[in-house]
Chain A
Amino acid sequence: MKLIGIAGTNAAHSFNRQLLTFMQRHFESQAEIELLSLDDVPLFNESNDQSDSPVIQRFNQKIEAADGVIIATPEHNHSIPSALKSILEWLSFKLHPLDGKPVMIVGAAYSVQGSSRAQLHLRQILDAPGVNAIVMPGSEFLLGRAQDAFDDQGNLKVSGTVDFLDSCFAKFQKFARIAAELNVPDAVSYQPGTYDVTAVGHNGELPMAVTLSKDRIEKIDIDTSTETEGIADVAFERIPKEIIDGQTLAVDAISGASITSNGVINGVAQAIKQAGANPDALKKQRTTAKTTEPAVHEITTDVAIVGAGGAGLTAAAKVLQAGKRALVLEKFPSVGGNTVRAGGPMNAADPDWQSQFDAIPGEKHTLQALASIDEATIDPEYLADFQQLKAEIKRYLEQTDGQTGYLFDSKLLHRIQTYLGGKRRDLKGHKIYGQYDLVKELTDNALDSVKWLESIGVQFDKSQVTMPVGAIWRRGHKPMGDLGFAYIKTLKKFVNDNGGTIMTETDVQQLTTSDGQITGVLANGPQGEEVVVHAKAVILASGGFAANTKMLQRYNTYWTAIDDDIKTTNSPAMTGDGIKLGTRVGADLVGMGFSQMMPVSDPETGELFSGLQVPPQNYVMVNQQGRRFVNEYGSRDELTQAAIDNGSLFYLIADDEIKKTAYNTTQEKIDQQVAAGTLFRADSLADLAKQIKMDPAALEQTIADYNRYVDAGDDPEFHKNAFDLKVQVAPFYATPRKPATHHTMGGLKIDTGARVLNAGGQTINGLYAAGEVAGGIHAGNRLGGNSLADIFTFGRIAAESALTDRVSED
């Protein structure tokens, strides 16, 4: 019989450890007792999950593999020590190795009562549902006055005590054997057939066909078409395979795609239920834990790239095009980062193409307004460009006078709009705007980035010029197909086809240096193995930190408040790792206080596409008191700050007619959300107000006022720029909204060659940064569509610099 012994303390000297050591020796012929030490177990912290760390995994695996566990508990303050409580919490949080495991409790203490109170607490704790151990009843072995109990050889002195321990242990061995029988899963038997079920995925329904034979799950077919390509794919690849390979439903959801993962698991569970079996039985059956001892994996490459988003894959592709080796390390199971979430169009001035399209009303006016900006307000670096742009605009307006005219654009217009769009002041009055040389580099090379992407296979839809939301100007090059995933799909294929390596689930932890030179990275691989990478250059392309609320709060100088529970539109991977990696080797930071929020996000998930998203002319935003509080046409940051000033949570009010202008939903989804309580619907405004706990009279008054403003075409309160529909036809809707974090403009300081700079302005040899991890370009506010332009431009530049500085020389 194989048993695990745990002495419940991390103290240097312990009688309980002594007791277990004695038992180990004394029972040698009957059982193999392996002792696990609590010394390196970190204090449990729900907010810092370390279930995957080697220490916790060791406990998990050893206990899973054992026939039983003996816990020797001291008594601290009438209960068990925190060190013991801590490991039990780790083993009841994400992992549950004690579930169904036979446990024997013993204890040694100074006092005569031994550890009786601690043992009682321990029984109650082991019985909690998250732990769910099977504790042997009775046979309480308490060793009182432990300081006098052992002789010099560490043996128990009193023979009566030894006899009692012998009888307790004999009983435990019997008990463990009986418990093992309890744990043998009931043989599952299915009514064979193919079951059509519908699970709930991220974007709605997930139809599945599950084929079961008499005793096996044979096949899982899923209609994957509605889920997000590029995000859900890994779940579709892995979850069905793990379910079938292990004949189990106890599989872990894939990070970044947990909703899809759980959808698939639930779908199979439904089928199993329909086939007359109990899915819970399969949820308990665990596949054997990963048992491989963590190994070290050493790799040598030319350029190591941290992060397989748009910037990282672009850099890898460029390195490969130069005939050099590229290794991309990606911490998530799937590639693409935030880039797969992006709306798609990237900004690049391409006058030859854009001039084939007519100007639309308002565009000339925008140009005139821009040209009439007082030069005294333009910062000196940009003045010459601004003057030149004014001349371009003047020429264009003269040329097209009296006609509709064509769509104007130029590198200079893109540059000046990026500069003006990013100009902001923070709470302390500090002004920020994009660094001239970087903005110039971006706007001069953005079009080349489009052409380069085309050369490796990205296809753009030339039939239209789009204006990405928040972009100010129509210069969006929209890829054919699946939004942001269109880029990633092509880049990934290019990297794989050209001999590059992408390692997923490999989390970079540290940059290595030698003689002031970056020499590679250290990372944790999928099985917890250490990955040591030797490289001539390292490119950080790990994205921003909009999913790291603590970090946002720490650096924030722009928003009056960032709530602890603020949600994000980003992938959960965006935790600012690259910024931390860089600063640890001396990198300087720039513009870190400025982040962008998406004002109209789902309060629970941070996403944009729930509830009723209608065109802004049909938005009616009310605060929790039922009053309007802002011009609904305001910019992202105006809306966000107004929301923050009104307690963050607000509602978009709609009537049945406005509902029809929603571009994101269907009646079916609306009904689902109303049923789930994430969207509110009522036949009168008063009832709607009651549902969302606001004063009915206030909401009625607000809407009556609003409707009058629509009729008058004038909003004297907030000066809304444009109106369309009134709020008058029942049923009425309220979509709860809250600002969510969206983009971080600040980051590592780089030069125009994407070389990372230290505080003295010198380059850190061998270190490059591209994409959202770098700062200095978008300053106080990033224009829609500029980030994609940025990542593909600086991703290429970073690779070129790395090659010329560090790789080509030898």
Chain B
Amino acid sequence: MKLVGLVGTNATHSTNRQLLQYMQRHFANQSTLTICEIADLPAFNEPADRTVPAAVQELSDKIEAADGVIFATPEYDHSIPAALKSAIEWLSYTTRPLINKPVLIVGASNGALGTSRAQAHLRQILEAPELKALIVPNVSFMLGHSLQAFDEQGALIDQAKVGELDNAFNAFVNFVTLADKLLPSSQFFNQTKQFSWKQITDGED
């Protein structure tokens, strides 16, 4: 199974990156997880001509080619970081590779709650009509106190957490396998690819 893991921050040091790196190794026999960064994407600015910046296209191609996407998000001010939001805006505004793409949301933060509020926002965001990702229902993984969570080799220290992550990941793998069958017809797919807020509300859709 080919998966893409998206590091939801542009910070140099990130426990979310560490979490994905750990998942990459830990689940190596079940999947190849390609880790993608958003640090080099430009800031979203709604260009009138909808030109896709090269870095966005590259990310989009990787997502397009994957069987599923794992978002690892920090929590900044009770929501997802602006940098991740910007990346999502690019994808929704230009290539829309997330439509019907199976998605798992995980997150690590230094606080006790481990990104619960950011994850709730991210779910709502990814369900917006121009994104329409297939988020695995009832499954998520939250890692609190993330600065203390990994050992020197980058492995999760708390075995209970490892168990939780295993469960979440297995549920996601099953979901990805099932998702094929859930997918609506390709016609709908094409329609939504051209979705525009202006069109819907102007009744052009």
Measured CB to CB, the residues of A under 8 A from B are: 9-12, 42-47, 76-83, 85-86, 88-89, 92, 109-112, 117, 121, 124-125, 127-128, 130-131, 145, 147, 550, 564-565, 624, 647-649, 693
Residues of B within 8 A of A78 (CB): 124-125, 127-128
Given contacts A79-B85, A82-B44, whether A88 and B153 have CB atoms under 8 Å apart is: no
Could you tell me the distance in whole angstroms from the C-beta of A580 to the nearest C-beta in chain B? Answer: 18
By the criterion CB–CB under 8 Å, are A85 and B152 in contact? no
By the criterion CB–CB under 8 Å, are B86 and A77 in contact? no
By the criterion CB–CB under 8 Å, are B124 and A647 in contact? no
By the criterion CB–CB under 8 Å, are A79 and B121 in contact? yes
By the criterion CB–CB under 8 Å, are B79 and A111 in contact? no
Could you tell me the distance in whole angstroms from the C-beta of B122 to the nearest C-beta in chain A? Answer: 9
Contact of A647 among B83, B117, B128, B153 (CB under 8 A): B153
10 example contacts (A-B, Cβ-Cβ < 8 A) are as follows A11-B46, A45-B39, A45-B83, A46-B9, A78-B127, A92-B76, A109-B197, A124-B78, A128-B78, A564-B12
B69 an interface residue at 8 Å Cβ cutoff?
no
* Residue from A12, A45, A111, A117 having most chain B Cβ neighbours under 10 A: A45
Q: Which 3 A-B pairs have the closest CB atoms?
A: A82-B86, A86-B82, A11-B46
Residues of A within 8 A of B80 (CB): 85
Could you tell me the distance in whole angstroms from the C-beta of A129 to the nearest C-beta in chain B? Answer: 8
* Complex Cα spacing A112 to B197, Å: 11
Could you tell me the distance in whole angstroms from the C-beta of A462 to the nearest C-beta in chain B? Answer: 47
Number of residues on chain B facing chain A (CB within 8 A): 41
By the criterion CB–CB under 8 Å, are A624 and B152 in contact? yes
Measured CB to CB, the residues of B under 8 A from A are: 9-13, 39, 43-46, 48, 76-83, 85-86, 88-89, 92, 117, 121, 124-128, 130-131, 151-153, 197-198, 200-202
Residues of A within 8 A of B81 (CB): 44, 85, 89
Contact of A564 among B13, B79, B151 (CB under 8 A): B13
Given contacts A83-B44, A550-B12, whether A110 and B79 have CB atoms under 8 Å apart is: no
By the criterion CB–CB under 8 Å, are A77 and B130 in contact? yes
Residues of A within 8 A of B82 (CB): 43-44, 82-83, 85-86, 88-89
Residues of A within 8 A of B124 (CB): 78-79, 117, 121
By the criterion CB–CB under 8 Å, are A125 and B78 in contact? yes
Could you tell me the distance in whole angstroms from the C-beta of A363 to the nearest C-beta in chain B? Answer: 41
By the criterion CB–CB under 8 Å, are A77 and B92 in contact? yes
Contact of A47 among B11, B127, B130, B131 (CB under 8 A): B11
Q: A83-B44, A124-B78 are in contact. List 5 more A-B contacts (CB 8 A).
A: A77-B125, A86-B82, A88-B82, A112-B201, A693-B151
Given contacts A11-B45, A45-B10, whether A85 and B79 have CB atoms under 8 Å apart is: yes
By the criterion CB–CB under 8 Å, are A77 and B128 in contact? yes
Could you tell me the distance in whole angstroms from the C-beta of A741 to the nearest C-beta in chain B? Answer: 15
* Complex Cα spacing A648 to B152, Å: 9
By the criterion CB–CB under 8 Å, are A111 and B200 in contact? yes
Contact of B201 among A12, A43, A111 (CB under 8 A): A111
Residues of B within 8 A of A647 (CB): 152-153
Could you tell me the distance in whole angstroms from the C-beta of B65 to the nearest C-beta in chain A? Answer: 23
**Closest residue to A46 on the B side, CB-wise?**
B11
* Complex Cα spacing A550 to B46, Å: 31
* Complex Cα spacing A79 to B119, Å: 13
By the criterion CB–CB under 8 Å, are A89 and B12 in contact? no
By the criterion CB–CB under 8 Å, are B83 and A145 in contact? no
Residues of B within 8 A of A109 (CB): 197
Could you tell me the distance in whole angstroms from the C-beta of A68 to the nearest C-beta in chain B? Answer: 19
* Complex Cα spacing A76 to B91, Å: 12
**Closest residue to B117 on the A side, CB-wise?**
A124
By the criterion CB–CB under 8 Å, are B11 and A45 in contact? yes
* Complex Cα spacing A662 to B13, Å: 34
Residues of A within 8 A of B76 (CB): 44, 85, 89, 92
Residues of B within 8 A of A92 (CB): 76-77
Residues of B within 8 A of A111 (CB): 197, 200-201
Could you tell me the distance in whole angstroms from the C-beta of A320 to the nearest C-beta in chain B? Answer: 41
Could you tell me the distance in whole angstroms from the C-beta of B136 to the nearest C-beta in chain A? Answer: 19
Could you tell me the distance in whole angstroms from the C-beta of A489 to the nearest C-beta in chain B? Answer: 36
Residues of B within 8 A of A11 (CB): 45-46
